[in-house]
A and B are shown apart, each in its own frame.
Chain A
C-alpha cells in the first residue's frame, strides 16, 4: 500500500447501483416471457435468442476493438439485453442468418455508429427489427402457430397474428365476425400467450410480471408504460365506442401485437427515452397515439415498433424543452 492519502472531490461514498446490475435486472424481468415463449414455441425460441445474444455481443466486441478502438465495455451486458429484445420481436421460423444480420444492424448501425452505449438516438433492437422487416417483409410476416415444447426449428406451420387477421379484414367483415373466426385466439389464450406472434410478445401475463419486477426494483418508473397503455386504451376505447362494428375493443389492442413488450421493455430503454417524468409522459402518449394511428390506418398491422422509433427521434427535443420540476421555481407557499 502506498501511504499517500487519496484526495478527490466529494461525495466520498457511492451507491451500489451499477449499469451492469440494471441490465441484469432487465434480463431477470425478461425471464418469465422467455419461459412462456419456450413453452409455446419450443427450443426454436432458445436457438434464436441464443444466436441473437451471441452475435450482438460478438459484433459489439469486434466493432469496439477494431473499428472504434475504444475501451471495451461488452461486459456491461447492454448488448445482451439488445440481443434478447431483438430475438423477442422476431418470429421463430426466421432463418438464422437473418437473426445474425439483424444483430449486426442493431449493434453496428443502431448503436456503435453513434458511439456505443448511451449515445444511440434510436432503440438498437428496434432498429434491427425494423431493418429486417423492411428488407425481408416475406420472412418477417409469416408467423408460426404456437405448438408446444420440443417443436423443431422451422417446422411450425404458419398463421396470421391477431392484428394481421383484423387488418386483412377491416372494412370487409364486421369486427364481431372477425373475432369469431377460427384463426382468432380467445382472450384467455392471448393473455397466456397461445397465439401466433414474435417470440416475446405473446405472453401478456409474463410481460406484466416483468414490469412489476422492474418497478419494484426501481429499474424503471411507471410513467412510460402507463402512459402508453393508457393512451392506447383511451384511443381504442374511443374508436370502439363510436363504431364497435369496425373497431376492435381496447382489450384486444392491449393483448395483441408487441404493445406490452414495447411499452414495458423497449420504450423504457433509458438511452432513447426522455429524462424527466413529464417528458416521459409526453413520450408515452406519443407512442400510444402513433401506435393506434398506424394499427388502424396504415398498411401495416402493427405499429409499436415505428411509434417507438419515431418518438425516440423526438426525445432530444423533449429533453430540451420539458424540464423536471425545479425546486423553488413556481413557488406556491400556502
Chain B
C-alpha cells in the first residue's frame, strides 16, 4: 500500500480521535444544563421582541413559558392563541384562551370640537408637551396629537390623521402588543376586547374634570351625567370622577347608551348605520 495513504489516514484519524477525546473531557467538565425546550419554544414565537407579553424579549418569554407551571396570565399578543397553543403542545400543557384585544383611542377632541387656546411650539413629542402644560386646548386629559403612540408602534398599525390630528388604529394590523398604551403619557389608549367584525363601543373621553369644566374645553367631553349608567341594563357602565367607563366584559353592544349620551362622548365603530345622528359620532 502507498505509504502516503497510510500516513494520511493515520495522522488525520488520530487527530480526530484526540479532538473528540479532549472535547468530551471539556464538555463534561463545563457542562451547563439548558432546557432544550427553550429553544424550541423560542423558535415558534414571532421574534418581534415587542414586549407585549410583559417580558424583555421573546427569549425571556420562552424561558418564562418553560418554567411556568400553568399558562395563566401568559400570552403573546402578536402570536395570539395559535402560537400559545403550539407552545402548549411543545410543553405538554394547556393554553389558556386569552381574548384577542385591540387598541382604541379614547379621545374625540378633534379641532372643531375642542377650540385651540394656545399654540404649541416645542418638539413634536407628547411626553414633553404633557409635562409642559395642558396642550393647545384647555383639556388637560385629551390627545396632544404629537404622535408618541404612532412612533411606538412596530407593526405599522397606527397613523396620525391630518384632519382630526389624532391617531388612527388599523383594525387589521394591530396585534395588541400594548406598546402604544405605554407610550401615551395621557393614558388615552386602552386595550379592549376585539369583538366580532371589529365592532367597538366605548366612551371616547378620559376627562375627569367636572362636567361644566370639561364641556367648556371640549364639546364631546364626557360630563359625568350618568345617563348612560341608568340606561344600561347590563350594569356595564360606571361613572367615577365625572367620567363614564364601559366595562367590555359586560357590554353586549345594545347601544342604548350611545343614543342617550348628551355630548356624543360614547362612540360606536363598525356597526351598521342606524340613525343619522349616530353616524356623526361614529366618525370620531
Spell out A's residues near B (CB within 8 Å): 2, 4-9
Contact = CB atoms under 8 A, between A and B. Distances in A.
B122 A4 contact: no
Nearest to B135: A7
Contacts of A7: 118-122, 132-133
Contacts of B98: none
A9 B128 contact: yes
A5 B119 CA distance: 6
Contacts of B118: 4-7
Contact of A2 (B119, B120, B122, B132): B119
A4 B132 CA distance: 17
Given A6-B118, A7-B132, A9-B132, 13 more contacts: A2-B119, A4-B116, A4-B117, A6-B119, A6-B120, A7-B118, A7-B120, A7-B121, A7-B122, A8-B120, A8-B121, A8-B122, A9-B128
Nearest to A2: B119
Interface string B108-130: 00000000111111100000100
Nearest to A7: B118
Nearest to B121: A8
Contacts of B119: 2, 4-7
A13 to B, nearest CB: 13
B42 to A, nearest CB: 32
Contacts of B132: 7-9
Contacts of A9: 122, 128, 132
A235 B131 CA distance: 56
A4 B133 CA distance: 15
Interface residues of B, number: 10
The 4 nearest A-B residue pairs measured at CB: A8-B121, A8-B122, A6-B121, A7-B118
B148 to A, nearest CB: 16
A137 to B, nearest CB: 48
A220 to B, nearest CB: 29
A3 to B, nearest CB: 10
A49 B132 CA distance: 50
Nearest to B122: A8
Nearest to A5: B118
Contacts of B117: 4
Interface in B107-164: 116-122, 128, 132-133
Contacts of B116: 4
A5 B136 CA distance: 10
Contacts of B120: 6-8
A4 B121 CA distance: 12
A6 B119 CA distance: 5
A4 B111 CA distance: 15
Interface string B40-67: 0000000000000000000000000000
A7 B138 CA distance: 13
24 contacts: A2-B119, A4-B117, A4-B118, A4-B119, A5-B118, A5-B119, A6-B118, A6-B119, A6-B120, A6-B121, A7-B118, A7-B119, A7-B120, A7-B121, A7-B122, A7-B132, A7-B133, A8-B120, A8-B121, A8-B122, A8-B132, A9-B122, A9-B128, A9-B132
B34 to A, nearest CB: 33
A4 B116 CA distance: 8
Interface in B172-230: none
A11 to B, nearest CB: 12
A6 B136 CA distance: 9
A8 B123 CA distance: 8
A8 B121 CA distance: 5
A7 B121 CA distance: 6
A313 B69 CA distance: 51
A151 B117 CA distance: 68
